Amino acid sequence: MASPSEYLDALIRELNKLPGIGSKSAARAAFHLLEMSDANVKQLLNTIIALKENVLECSLCGGISDTPVCSICTDPSRQQQTLCVIEDKKALITIEKTGTYKGIYHVLGGVISPLDGIGPDDIRFPQLVERCKSESIKEVIMATNPTIEGDATVLYSLKVLKPLGIRVMRLARGLPVGADIDFTDVATISKSLLERSEVL
């Protein structure tokens, strides 16, 4: 399997460690890098190094930021009373893309999962409670994934945050936009029926 170049093999091994990159994709990218001009390769390297050196974790929401507090948390046009709670930093970008959410965020960095040894104190849950106490938050939208552990996290938040007088919501579940009922599983359809909404 080894190629005539140890350097190439080493690069393939490194690229292979990235998510979604199998050995074939890694080899393809490695050969491409070999063909690229020195200037372009240097630019790529510098970009990666700059990313690692400059991107911080926002001290408020835990999302990515180039400054100690991120641009969303400091944006005065954002509604400070609504807080959207998400599992990881990437989910923030996904929700931002919709352009429909005008509140602020809180990144948990995981969900409660005793099987993996993760309790509420192992994720940014204490910080969430702290924010709910110290900031003017009225509504928390739990946007964790609809898994068993995601649901457990929602229930736990409800238990802790509701006594603080905070309205705890979670994302609606049901048919994806553009879906076909015939190809949707029974669980999703029954959720859609339960959480049906009035046509306005």
Partner 1 sequence: MHLKKLTVKNFRNYYNNTFEFCNSYNFITGANGTGKSNILEAVSVLSNIKSFRNASDRAMIKQYESYYYINGVVAEDTFENVFEAAFQNKDKIKKKYKINNSKVDRLIDYYGKFITVNLSPTDTDLIIGEPEKKRRYIDSVISKIDKEYFKKICEYKRILNNRNTILKSGIVHLKNIQVWNELLAEKSSYIIKKREKFLNDILDLFANNYQKISNENDSVSIKYRPSVTGETTADILNQIENNQQRDKRYKTTTLGPHRDSYSIKYRGVDCSLYASNGQLRSLSIALKLAEKNIVEENLNKKAVILIDDIFSELDRLRRHNLIRLMKNQNQVLFTVPTVEDLSISDLADSTILNLDK
Chain positions contacting partner 1, by CB under 8 A: 112-115, 117, 119-120, 148-149, 151-152, 155-156, 159-160, 186-187
Closest by CA position to 106, among listed 119, 118, 117, 95: 95
From the CB of 148, what's the least distance to partner 1, in Å? Answer: 5
From the CB of 149, what's the least distance to partner 1, in Å? Answer: 7
From the CB of 42, what's the least distance to partner 1, in Å? Answer: 40
Among residues 57 and 151, whose Cβ is nearest to partner 1?
151
Among residues 56 and 160, whose Cβ is nearest to partner 1?
160
H-assigned helices in 36-143: 38-54, 71-74, 89-98, 125-134
Residues 127/62, Cβ–Cβ less than 8 Å: yes
For residues 62 and 70, what is the distance between their CA atoms, to the nearest angstrom?
A: 9
Among residues 31 and 156, whose Cβ is nearest to partner 1?
156
From the CB of 28, what's the least distance to partner 1, in Å? Answer: 23
Residues 112/153, Cβ–Cβ less than 8 Å: yes
